[in-house]
Amino acid sequence: MERPRKQPLEAIVADVMTRDPVTASSRQSLGSALQLLRARRVSLLPVVEDGKLVGMLTEHDACWSLSDLEHREIGAEMDPHPQSIPPDANLREAARALLVQERAGLCVVDGGRLVGLVTPRDLLRASLDALDAALPKVTTIRMVPQGGRLALAEISSLIRAHGGDLLATVREPVAGEDVAYRLRISAPNPDTLIELLEARGHRVVTSTSRGRSDAAPSAGASPCG
């Protein structure tokens, strides 16, 4: 079950980390570690004994000793003092530790036991989620205005009053003698705007919403004043 997301400023390492990461024993061979890293498509391999974190092996470490991989143990090449962070640390602490220590990842340790792994990819994904949450959605509304004419100043004022922006308008014919307008708006709550438009006698035909970053103008559409 997916864990509910916290607000970006409230998020902690436990919210974004990879739980139950693939691990190895210090007594395994470097050859088996390299096979495991490549099979799971990861570059970090926490080394655990009896649930306790005892080291970290990277793909670079495993490849460093190209000879006798099957007989050389992980314990001989691992970092016995890997950088760790508690699960309740905030994301700023994790990012700073990754930058300062120049690490490819941090072991998340609670009471000496490995509970997860956090990497720059995890922090980048959290940053993108925060950006998506902060940016308003772009909504395209296709509507037939009351009386057949679009009162652009009135519509713009209504949208701005509810924290949005009118990005573009396109005039297009519909079935019968009606004329529809396609409005592209950026607003935190487009459903409220649609209700207000309908309450003022405008007929909303369709509406679609998408994220600001992937919203592109329709091909062939030309804005009109």
* Each residue's pLDDT tens digit, 100-117: 877 789 999 998 899 999
- Return the C-alpha torsion angle 20, 21, 25, 31, nearest 10: 150
Q: How many CA atoms lie within 13 A of 49 on its CB side?
A: 9
Query: Is the alpha carbon torsion for 138, 143, 145, 149 positive or negative?
Result: positive
Could you tell me the residue ranges of all domains in the chain? 8-130, 135-214
Phi, psi for 150 (deg, rounded to 5)? -90, 115
Third-level CATH fold of 8-130:
CBS-domain (3.10.580)
Topology of the domain covering 135-214 = Alpha-Beta Plaits (3.30.70)
Distance from CA of residue 71 to its chain's centroid? Answer: 42
pLDDT band with cut points at 50, 70 and 90 for residue 212: very low
At 142-191, the pLDDT tens digits run 888 887 777 888 888 888 898 888 888 888 766 555 678 888 888 878 88
* SS3 label, residue 117: strand
Predicted model pTM: 0.56
As to burial, measured by CB atoms within 10 angstroms (0-12 exposed, 13-18 middle, 19+ buried), residue 94 is buried
* Residues 139 and 209: beta-carbon distance below 8 Å: yes
